[in-house]
């Protein structure tokens, strides 16, 4: 392998990806044992500063890579002729931080089904639908997909209904786009199966749906003869 085959930029990109994907600490590049291994295995790393020396360099590299990928995704979304469907959910970490994950589903120009994580944003304050809607709206504006929105897939929490109604009002007020929050709201089948499975495994009876009573004075339906 000649020296022309080695690229310091590509090496740094692969190093940051290795650390991010395998959940390694950013400070690993500062550890003597890691640096000794890298420098011993490749003579190219001894010739310049290809081997990053600070955890801050890893942070900067990841941000640069993310922004590049984000621009590519925005360009891809703007080029498609189909709708973009979203799913999002709220998750609380073990250390009590709340995050809202937003995922998009679409068909690209090569007719390939794509599922891409658009954002994982911290949610401050209450877990109300209005607050979640503001985060989703920010993501929609960031990727410029307000005119491509299709269906939403979420679990059965009532706050999700509020979120979609807020998004519907925002689309109408900002872009004059009529988007029916109830029509385009899909239930998460995986969540439904999970609820049923938990009810069976916990040996708890399933609650029957409550049928609203007819108001007083309503004539009773006659039985057919």
| Interval 164-223: pLDDT, tens | 999 999 999 999 999 998 888 887 777 677 777 877 777 666 565 555 555 555 455 444
Are residues 123 and 34 part of one domain?
A: no
Choice between 5 and 75, residue whose per-residue pLDDT is larger: 75
DSSP sequence for 138-171: HHHHHHT-TTSEEEEEE-S-HHHHHHHHHHHHHH
Predicted confidence at residue 221, as pLDDT, reads 47
What length does the chain have? 225
Are residues 56 and 84 part of one domain?
A: no
Predicted confidence at residue 92, as pLDDT, reads 85
| Number of separate domains in the chain | 2
Are residues 94 and 51 part of one domain?
A: no
Question: Does residue 207 lie in a domain region?
Answer: no
Question: Does residue 193 lie in a domain region?
Answer: yes
Predicted confidence at residue 209, as pLDDT, reads 52
Last residue of a domain, one of 30, 65, 100: 65
**pLDDT for 25-52, tens place per residue?**
999 999 999 999 998 888 888 777 788 8
Return the structure tokens found at 192: 């439904």
pLDDT tier for residue 150 given thresholds of 50, 70 and 90: very high
Q: How far is CA 87 from CA 105, 151, 187, 193, 225, in A?
A: 8, 8, 10, 17, 50
**Could you tell me which residues are beta bridge partners of residue 116?**
104
**Can you tell me the mean pLDDT for 123-135?**
85
Are residues 109 and 20 part of one domain?
A: no
Containing structural domain, residue 85: 80-201
Are residues 126 and 38 part of one domain?
A: no
Are residues 43 and 106 part of one domain?
A: no
3-class secondary-structure state, position 61:
helix
Are residues 112 and 189 part of one domain?
A: yes
Task: Assign residue 111 a region (left: φ > 0; alpha: ψ between -120 and 50; beta: otherwise).
Answer: left
Are residues 162 and 119 part of one domain?
A: yes
């Amino acid at each position: 392998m000649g020296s022309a085959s080695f690229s310091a930029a590509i090496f740094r990109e692969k190093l940051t990806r290795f650390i991010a994907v395998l959940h390694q600490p950013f400070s690993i590049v500062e550890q003597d044992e890691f640096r000794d291994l890298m420098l011993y295995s490749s003579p190219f790393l001894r010739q310049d500063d290809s081997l990053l020396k600070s955890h801050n360099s890893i942070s900067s590299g990841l941000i640069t890579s993310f922004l590049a990928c984000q621009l590519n995704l925005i360009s891809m979304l703007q080029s498609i002729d189909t709708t973009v469907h979203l799913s999002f959910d709220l998750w609380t970490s073990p250390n009590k931080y709340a995050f809202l994950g937003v995922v998009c589903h679409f068909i690209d120009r090569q007719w390939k089904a794509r599922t891409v994580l658009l954002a994982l944003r911290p949610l401050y304050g209450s877990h109300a639908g209005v607050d979640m809607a503001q985060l989703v709206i920010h993501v929609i504006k960031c990727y410029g997909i307000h005119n491509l929105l299709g269906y939403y897939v979420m679990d059965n929490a009532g706050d999700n209904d509020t979120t979609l109604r807020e998004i519907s009002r925002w689309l109408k007020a900002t872009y004059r786009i009529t988007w029916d929050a109830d029509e385009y709201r899909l239930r998460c089948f995986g969540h439904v199966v999970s609820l049923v499975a938990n009810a069976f495994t916990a040996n708890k009876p399933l609650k029957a749906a409550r049928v609203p009573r007819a108001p007083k004075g309503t004539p009773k339906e006659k039985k057919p003869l």
